[in-house]
Structure formats: C-alpha cells, structure tokens
Amino acid sequence: MTKLTSNQTAALAVFHDFIECESDFEWGDYFWMDDLIEMLTENGWERKSAEGTIGSLLESNDIGLQEFEMTGHPEKGEKREMLYIVNHEPSWA
C-alpha cells in the first residue's frame, strides 16, 4: 500500500466528497483533468499545486485514481483525450 502525503490525502477527500454529493455513481466517477483541477482550486489549492498533486496521485499505486483513454470521433474533428477514474467506496458501505 502506498503511503500518501497529507496533501494527497486531502485531495482524495475532495474527490470522494464530490462523488458522494454530486455523482450518480456509487463506485466512483470519470473526470476530465480540468474537472479535477477545478475541484482542488475551489478548495484552496493553487493551480500548479493542484496539477502536481494530481500528478503525484497518478504515479502512486493502489490509491484509486487511474487514467482512461477516451477516443472521440475523428470524423467530427474530435481528438483523443484522457479521462481519469476516481474509484470510490461510499462512506455508507
């Protein structure tokens, strides 16, 4: 199990709180990187700090934040983008 910093733990708490309050998914949810950054900046992180925190979480093992490649529709001019999955165990579980 990866030992998380207090900053990483606080960021995951923000993500999990958002999932419990706003998401239709009990197991977790998908987010664009801008969504993750916005959640952190709205909770006191500076943008660069939010980016670094998310990057460090992605490098950690077994913490429940994963990249997921989303391919758009090239025929519609859409490009390949990355979605990020935050796995979540509800507090009521």
Counting the structural domains of the chain, the total is 1
Choose between 82 and 5: higher pLDDT: 5
Phi, psi of 68 (to 5 degrees): -145, 120
| Residue 92 in this model has a pLDDT that exceeds 50 | no
Q: Which residue has the tokens 């207090």?
A: 6
Query: Does 93 map to a domain?
Result: no
CB 32 within 8 A of CB 53: no
> Domain of 80: which CATH number?
1.10.10
pLDDT of residue 93: 45
Structure tokens at 79: 């490009």
Residue 79 falls inside a structural domain: yes
Query: So what's the pLDDT on residue 48?
Result: 97
Higher pLDDT, 85 or 71: 85
Q: Is the Cβ–Cβ distance between 40 and 57 less than 8 Å? A: no
CA distance 72 to 39: 24
Could you tell me the maximum CA-CA distance found in the chain, to the nearest angstrom?
A: 44
Question: Could you tell me if residue 1 is inside a domain?
Answer: no
Q: Which domain holds residue 70?
A: 6-87
Query: What confidence tens digit (pLDDT) does each residue in 36-82 have?
Result: 999 999 999 999 999 999 999 888 866 777 777 666 666 777 766 77
